[in-house]
Amino acid sequence: MRYNALSILKQGLTGNKGWAPAWREPDPKPEYDIIIVGGGGHGLATAYYLSNKFGMKNIAVVEKGWIGSGNVGRNTTLIRSNYLLEGNQPFYELSMQLWEGLEQDFNYNAMVSQRGILNLYHSDSQRDAFARRGNAMHLTGSGGVMLSEAEIREKCPYLDFDNARFPIKGALWQQRGGTVRHDAVAWGFARGADMKGVDILQNCEVTGFQIDNGVCKGVETSRGTIRAKKVAVCVAGSSGRVMSMAGMRLPIESHVLQAFVSEGLKPTLPGVITFGAGHFYVSQSDKGGLVFGGDIDGYNTYAQRGNLPVVEDVCEGGMALMPMIGRARLLRMWGGLMDMSMDGSPFIDRTHIGGLYFNGGWCYGGFKATPASGFCYAHLLAKDAPHPVATQLRLDRFRRGAPIDEKGAGPQPNLH
């Protein structure tokens, strides 16, 4: 069923009784051409683009819980394309362009809201680094302008401009950045894939791979064995755990990132604001809550919950940036698993096992990547060649001495 104004009107007048479920609940078939492991944003986007753009059929998405129960439903929903390096920036720009047409494309309201993202700087050297980043953004047509302190004062008068240690000197502003309703992204991609016949198999945990002479022939699941010509793993924070079942060690550690939402407030923030002197970022949801976060906790974990020192650190960042946040009450907080890679950049690649593909290492920036990740993974699966913007997102890049290290922090995942 396609959604449009007429269908809303019709359903409204007939008691909303005619809406059908947005996707089916099929039983697993014994075999598929392609099995995607993980029904998060990236897995569902991959299924959507495979079936809608690359004409592939006979596809299943296998999800251990319910779709959207992972990070796609836990993130702080920021999108942007303001990266620096060649291996990343064209990829994130493709993602931004896909976001811009997404709702028309998959006929679902994902509330893509390009309210802008403001990266504040506090020193001369930081200004220079941001100017360089802005120039890199212009190379891919991503936009981006440097704002003066006076221009920021007009947008957000409540920031602590004259903070004794970290005065605000200016910002890099990307107008095309913003936020998207995260759950709706999962649902929209799921519905669009289902309409093309993709089976979305929920409560179906992958417990092993069938590997025969170096070729992957299918997966063992909690709902039985399913054979496949290609198996595409896409499990974000669970990457290490799942790939170990194929005997692989990855350049990835799993960490936890926490997020926070305040009570609902009147509209105050123009878009996303990031603090340049500590790790703190904040936006305002459509319901009015301030949505904010900061650093990962910094140690290996699969527990999906963090500890108090980081809560304190994030709140200190908030107080240093916009003291008025101290008057808002915290409504809820939670954590999600991060697949932190050794250079802070992701992977979309084949593995050394035939028919087994891997997508992961998204760190805490994988939500914005969802459409491009799905598109490039679908490209790889359909054509067995990387998409032009994803040629550097390879698993062997460390062996070749070719990391994509935006921060220059080296192989220390908790610093990216």
Ligand X SMILES: Cc1cc2nc3c(=O)[nH]c(=O)nc-3n(C[C@H](O)[C@H](O)[C@H](O)COP(=O)(O)OP(=O)(O)OC[C@H]3O[C@@H](n4cnc5c(N)ncnc54)[C@H](O)[C@@H]3O)c2cc1C
* Partner whose footprint covers residue 299, from another protein, ligand X, none (CB < 5 to 8 Å by kind): another protein
Secondary structure, 3-state, 140-155 = CCCCCEEEEHHHHHHH
When binding is defined by CB under 8 A, the residue of 270, 278, 298, 354 that contacts another protein is 298
Q: Rule CB under 6 A: which residues touch ligand X? A: 37-43, 62-65, 69-72, 74-78, 205-206, 234-238, 242, 257, 259, 293, 336, 362, 364-368
User: Which residue, chain included where needed, has tokens 């319901």?
Assistant: 287
Judged by beta carbon, residue 319 or residue 415, the one nearer another protein is 415
Secondary structure, 3-state, 303-345 = CCCCCHHHHHHHHHHHHHHCHHHHHCCEEEEEEEEEEEECCCC
When binding is defined by CB under 8 A, the residue of 65, 212, 299, 324 that contacts another protein is 299
User: Are 142 and 85 a contacting pair, CB within 8 Å?
Assistant: no
Q: How far is CA 133 from CA 84, 136, 389, 412, in A?
A: 5, 5, 18, 23
For the bound state, the minimum distance from the C-beta of residue 174 to ligand X, rounded and expressed in Å, comes to: 14
Judged by beta carbon, residue 198 or residue 338, the one nearer another protein is 338
Residues 6+ apart with CB under 8 A from 245: 206, 207, 208, 209
When binding is defined by CB under 8 A, the residue of 29, 57, 138, 241 that contacts another protein is 241
User: Are 226 and 32 a contacting pair, CB within 8 Å?
Assistant: yes
Among the listed ranges 19-27, 85-93, 234-242, 357-365, the one in contact with another protein (CB under 8 A) is 234-242
Judged by beta carbon, residue 218 or residue 240, the one nearer another protein is 240
Backbone angles phi, psi at 58, to 5 degrees: 60, 60
CA–centroid distance for 285 within its chain: 17
* Partner whose footprint covers residue 250, from ligand X, another protein, none (CB < 5 to 8 Å by kind): another protein
Say how many Å lie between the first and final Cα of the chain, rounded. Answer: 43
The half-sphere exposure of 225 on its side-chain side, counting CA atoms within 13 A, is: 7
User: Per CB under 8 A, does 411 bind another protein?
Assistant: yes
User: Are 140 and 90 a contacting pair, CB within 8 Å?
Assistant: yes
Burial class of residue 121 in the structure, from the number of CB atoms within 10 Å of its CB (0-12 exposed, 13-18 middle, 19+ buried): buried
CA–centroid distance for 294 within its chain: 16
User: Per CB under 8 A, does 253 bind another protein?
Assistant: yes
* Partner whose footprint covers residue 298, from ligand X, another protein, none (CB < 5 to 8 Å by kind): another protein
Q: How far is CA 401 from CA 9, 343, 404, in A?
A: 58, 11, 10
For the bound state, the minimum distance from the C-beta of residue 327 to ligand X, rounded and expressed in Å, comes to: 24
* Partner whose footprint covers residue 97, from another protein, ligand X, none (CB < 5 to 8 Å by kind): none
* Partner whose footprint covers residue 368, from another protein, ligand X, none (CB < 5 to 8 Å by kind): ligand X
Q: Identity (one letter) of the amino acid at 382?
A: A
User: Per CB under 8 A, does 402 bind another protein?
Assistant: no
* Partner whose footprint covers residue 3, from ligand X, another protein, none (CB < 5 to 8 Å by kind): none
User: Are 1 and 196 a contacting pair, CB within 8 Å?
Assistant: no
Judged by beta carbon, residue 39 or residue 355, the one nearer ligand X is 39
User: Are 79 and 160 a contacting pair, CB within 8 Å?
Assistant: no
For the bound state, the minimum distance from the C-beta of residue 190 to ligand X, rounded and expressed in Å, comes to: 11
For the bound state, the minimum distance from the C-beta of residue 357 to ligand X, rounded and expressed in Å, comes to: 14
* Partner whose footprint covers residue 185, from ligand X, another protein, none (CB < 5 to 8 Å by kind): none
For the bound state, the minimum distance from the C-beta of residue 37 to ligand X, rounded and expressed in Å, comes to: 5
Footprint (CB under 8 A) of another protein, residues 151-170: none
Footprint (CB under 8 A) of another protein, residues 306-325: 307, 309
For the bound state, the minimum distance from the C-beta of residue 413 to another protein, rounded and expressed in Å, comes to: 7
User: Per CB under 8 A, does 234 bind another protein?
Assistant: no
Total residues at interface with another protein (CB under 8 A)? 25
Q: Identity (one letter) of the amino acid at 380?
A: L
Query: Footprint of another protein on this chain (CB under 8 A)?
Result: 238, 240-241, 244, 249-254, 298-303, 307, 309, 342, 398-399, 411-414
